[in-house]
Every structure is written in C-alpha cells, then in structure tokens.
Amino acid sequence: MALPIVSIPMKKTKKPSLVLTLSAAGLLIAVGSTAYWLLTQGQPLWRDLPAGANIIPQDAVFAVSLTTDPKQWQKLHEFGTKETQAELEKNLVQLRDRFLTSNGYDFEKDIQPWVGDEVTLAILAPEPSKPQIKPVASNQDVASNDQSMVMVLPVKNPEIAKSIWTQPKALKQGKWISRTYQGLDIKQTDGQAGESLSATLIDGHLLVITDNAKTTERAIDAYKSKATLATTGGFAENISKIASYHPFAQFYINVPTAAKIATASPNRHLPAQVLAQLQNNQGLAGTITLEPEGISLKGVSWLNPNSQRVLTVENQAGKMQNRLPAETLMMLSGGNLQRLWGDYVLTSQGNPLSPIAPEQLRSGVKSLTNLDLDQDLLSWMKGEFSVSVIPSNPKDGSPEDFRAGLVFMVQASDRKLAEASLQKLDDVMKNQYQFQIQPRTVAGQPVVNWIAPFGTLTATHGWLDQDTAFLSLGAPVMDKIFPKPNNTLASTVPFQQTVPTELNPNNGQFFLDVERTMKNFPIPPLFPNQKTLLAATRSIGVTAAVSDNRSTRYDIFFALKKANDSVIPNKSNNAAPTPNITQSP
C-alpha cells in the first residue's frame, strides 16, 4: 500500500507557538471525531483552499485551519476519554491564550462576532538570509526567532472588525505602535520578537496576526507578489481533491522545506542523496471532518511539478480481505510488493530517519536464509499482497491463553520462480536450522510444515489457489484461511464501518481492531501519548490509491469511543461547556 514514508521532525525551539500548534494539530489529526460530508461539486476552486492561502508565504513549513463553529467542537467533545479530552483542551487553551487572552482579548466577546468559518495558523521557515543553526551547545539553545507563526482570521462582519482594529485594547504591559508597510497599516506591540504581537488588515476581509513585525512584512510581501500557498506548485489542484463541505480542520506540510530544516540539525543530518530525493516531493495535505462514529481524514501527497520522478498508476488491491477470517485483528494489503519496495528504497536508502534501512533488511535476509531479497523473493512478488494477524483461539478465549499467527499472502507473477525460491527456503530451514520439513495435505491441497527441533509447529506455507502463495508463522491458523473462510474479514461490521470505500479501485488497505489488539498484545511505543490515544480508539481503517502520475490519495477513518460522561469544567464558572476554541478561561 502506498503510504507516506517521509517523516521529517521539526527543529526544536524554545518558542511556544511552534510547539503548541504542532501538538494541537497532531492531537486533532490523531484523536478527533467527525460527521461526514460529501465532496462539494462544481464549486469555484478558491473555495476549497484554507483561509489565508493567498497570504501565507510559500515557504510555510506547516499550516492548519480549524473551524470556529461551536457545534463542531461540541461533536468533538462527544468522543474519546477524559484523558484525551483533557490533553486536547490543555493545548487549545494554551494556544488561545498565546494570541488572545494574554493581550486582553476574549474570543467569544471580541473575535467570534466578526470572524469567519475558520482560522488558519502557519509556521514559516527561517528566512534564507539568516543562519538556520547557530554555534550553540544543543538544540534547546537554538534562537527562537528562527521560526515564526502567522494566524489568518477571515472577516465576515467588517463593521465590528473595523471597530476592534481601529481601537485596540490597552495592553497590560507595553503599548501599541502603528506604522505602514507597502501601503498597509500595521499595529504591533513593543515586546521582543517571538513574544510580541503584530497585525494588519488586508483588503478589509483578512486579519493577519503574527508573533513579530518582520513576519507580518513577509506575509504582506507574499500577498503582494502572489508568492503564497495558493500559487505553490500543485497546492490548489491537490487540495481540491480532498475538499469537504464545512470541514473540521485542514492541514498542509511542505515536505522539501521541512527536509531542509531537518538536515540543518547536527543531530538529525540527512545525507545529500536523501535530501535530493525528498526534493521530488512537494506536499502532504489532509482534510478532517466529523462523523457520528469517529474522525474521517482525506489525505493527498504530491510530487514537485518540476521533478523527473513520476508515479505508476496501478491500483490492483482489494481481494485479500476476502481471503481472511472474520476474527482477523490486523491486515495490511497492497497492490504490488515489488514496486512498493522499490519506492521505499528510493527515499529510504541512506536515510537515518527510515524505520528500517533497506541495506540492513537485505543483509538480514541473506544472513538468515542465504536468499537474495530482490532476486529470490521480490522478483516474483509483483501482485497483491497482505500481512495479517489472526488469533488461533476462539474470540471468547482468555488473554492468558491468547495465541495468534502472522500470515503473509502474495499473488505470484511467476509461480515456477516462486516454487524454486520456496524450495530453497525449505532446504535452508532443514540444513541450517535442523527443522523437519513435513509435506501435508489440507482440504485436498498440498502444504509444507516447518517443525522445530523440539517438535513444535513453527510455520506452514503453500498455495491458496493457482497463483496466491501464503506463509503462516507462529500459532497454527491453517484451518482459518484454508479452505477459504465462509465469514471473511470483508464481511464484518467493524471492517465495513471503518475501512473507507470511496477510493475504488485502490492500491491497498489497512485495518486494525485496536480494542481487541490492545487487550491481547503489548503494543510498542511509536508516538507520544500513544496509550492514551489508543485507549480512545475502537478501530482504524486506511485506503490508498494512486490518483495520477503525480499524486496519491489516502482515506483514513478512526472509529472512536464515546465519552458522554467526560466533562471538562469551565474555568470561569461551574458550568460544563463545550471545549472549543471559542471558550474563555
């Protein structure tokens, strides 16, 4: 399955705006809740773009737009657990206080009466004229003015907004300073860069707020020269592919710019060849909507319009979920394993940020089996494949007795070559590891069992049909996949309600029954607050498809638990309000 494999960490900084924005946006993307809206058809392209896309400079590393609709924030509050809600509330309150409360403004009273349907926040890259890394002892000491933030608030009621703009509130410390830049009035506080506030009203309908005066000038320059997100190569075209009516949030990551920032860090240096490959990528964007049972995310990634690399439009997945039993805990499928591996090698070879180095995997396979990964195995794996986890015990079995098998299935493009490779594998297991190789017949079809020296059945391989091979490791689950099960994974309610179906045909799918998996398996830590976030999730489904030779689409759904009894108290009174960005402390 063509999943995004680029993971670019941001530069560490003392500046609260970067940390708060990324943590709040990440929490929204990972945990939110949603009501599904059909893609708008026949609408002007500009309506699909986030607010401020024609103001935010092209070198923005990250941008996120959030709805200002209290009803949507109320929907969000219906999902998750008390812990996830508290974490979300904390980040949003800190973000709101950073720009509003600390400067004497209350969102409900001063902003909500005139603001539009959404607000957009963006993090800009350091200016090219400034060194990105200074000779300091650690990343924590990087100067805070290297990265800056822009907030864009659309104006739906110009009269009210104008009164706020012309008569700003008195500050607790310092004073407001007025000046003009390129014909636009700017009001700013006299604090230090990164701790001050600077604002300008553009064309009477967009209020731009930044955390220093220089950033405001950069936004004005971008607007005047039209060097903005809206004119970034592929941005408008690809954002329109994931447009939804009245979304909860939208986000955008500038992959090449983020890669440059990452490679400037002495502790996370990217080799020149890896950085060159990442320049082929342009953006990764997503639209989040709220559905009755969870969060829906429509994503798209696209290549740089000037890159020589192109994608192969090949969407041939969709059969493996019909070969797996209903009790399957996890399934990852894809359309062409050989091509997926080639794409992974292209961007991961020599990349210290890759989860598994291709050269290490190759050498590992060679060391363990004496087989060449590319020539002996992947050369005949050009069809659809899947990796799944299937429990061997009944659904109601106790956790203490729980056992599961890892099952790999692949459609062979050359059965003769595949049989020769499997025979080599049998010989290695027999001669090098002293396993017993026992041919057997199951439902009239031949299979081969690997019996460990102590007499334990360790693995089974064979053919499900004329061209689909399988290998099962761990607990014996042959009776669940062979012959073809009557109750398949594809027929189950959790799969049908979780895995998106709009992308058809597709290039791969992913399904994870989070509740049952967490109950029976220890899941290794992969991201911050993992246990808290997974505890609020029922299941996760992903469907991917190659849209054209420049872009790939992803539909993701998080089925979430309801938390009707989880209420976060209002700081200003004893009521239990909706935890949204309009709430005042």
| pLDDT tens figures, 318-361 | 999 999 999 999 999 999 999 999 988 887 776 766 778 899 99
Instruction: Specify the pLDDT at position 353.
Output: 67
58 assigned to some structural domain:
yes
Write out the two tokens for 217. Answer: 């000038």
Kindly state whether residues 314 and 283 are assigned to the same domain: no
pLDDT digits (tens, 9 = 90+) for 39-75: 223 333 345 688 889 999 999 999 999 999 999 988 9
Instruction: Specify the pLDDT at position 111.
Output: 87
Kindly state whether residues 257 and 326 are assigned to the same domain: no
What 3-state class would DSSP assign to 79? Answer: strand
Domain that holds residue 539: 308-336+382-560
356 assigned to some structural domain:
no
Kindly state whether residues 329 and 273 are assigned to the same domain: no
172 assigned to some structural domain:
yes
Kindly state whether residues 71 and 108 are assigned to the same domain: yes
Kindly state whether residues 40 and 83 are assigned to the same domain: yes
Alpha-carbon span 452 to 40, nearest angstrom: 58
Closest to 125 (Cα-Cα) out of 109, 104, 93, 148: 148
**Domain end (from 260, 287, 302):** 302
Closest to 30 (Cα-Cα) out of 549, 532, 573: 532
**Number of folded domains that form the chain:** 2
Kindly state whether residues 284 and 430 are assigned to the same domain: no
Kindly state whether residues 222 and 332 are assigned to the same domain: no
Handedness of CA 369, 370, 376, 382 (dihedral sign): positive
Q: Which residues of the chain are under the pLDDT cut of 50?
A: 2-46, 130-145, 565-585
**Domain end (from 286, 302, 318):** 302
355 assigned to some structural domain:
no
50 assigned to some structural domain:
yes
CA dihedral angle for residue 179, residue 181, residue 187, residue 188, rounded to 10 degrees: -90
343 assigned to some structural domain:
no
Which DSSP category does 155 fall into? Answer: B
Kindly state whether residues 171 and 319 are assigned to the same domain: no
**Domain end (from 284, 302, 320):** 302
Kindly state whether residues 213 and 296 are assigned to the same domain: yes
Q: What share of the chain is helix, strand, coil (3-state, %, to 5)?
A: 30, 25, 40
Kindly state whether residues 288 and 312 are assigned to the same domain: no
Transcribe 181-222 into DSSP letters.
ETTEEEEEESS-TTTS-EEEEETTTEEEEESSHHHHHHHHHH
346 assigned to some structural domain:
no
Kindly state whether residues 530 and 514 are assigned to the same domain: yes
Kindly state whether residues 531 and 506 are assigned to the same domain: yes
Could you tell me the CA-to-CA distances from 248 to 125, 375, 410, 488, 585 in Å, in that order? 26, 47, 39, 34, 22
Instruction: Specify the pLDDT at position 162.
Output: 81
- C-alpha 179: how far from chain center: 41
Q: Nearest 5°: CA angle at 167, between 162 and 170?
A: 145
Alpha-carbon span 585 to 572, nearest angstrom: 6
Preceding omega of 505 cis (within 30 degrees of 0): yes
361 assigned to some structural domain:
no
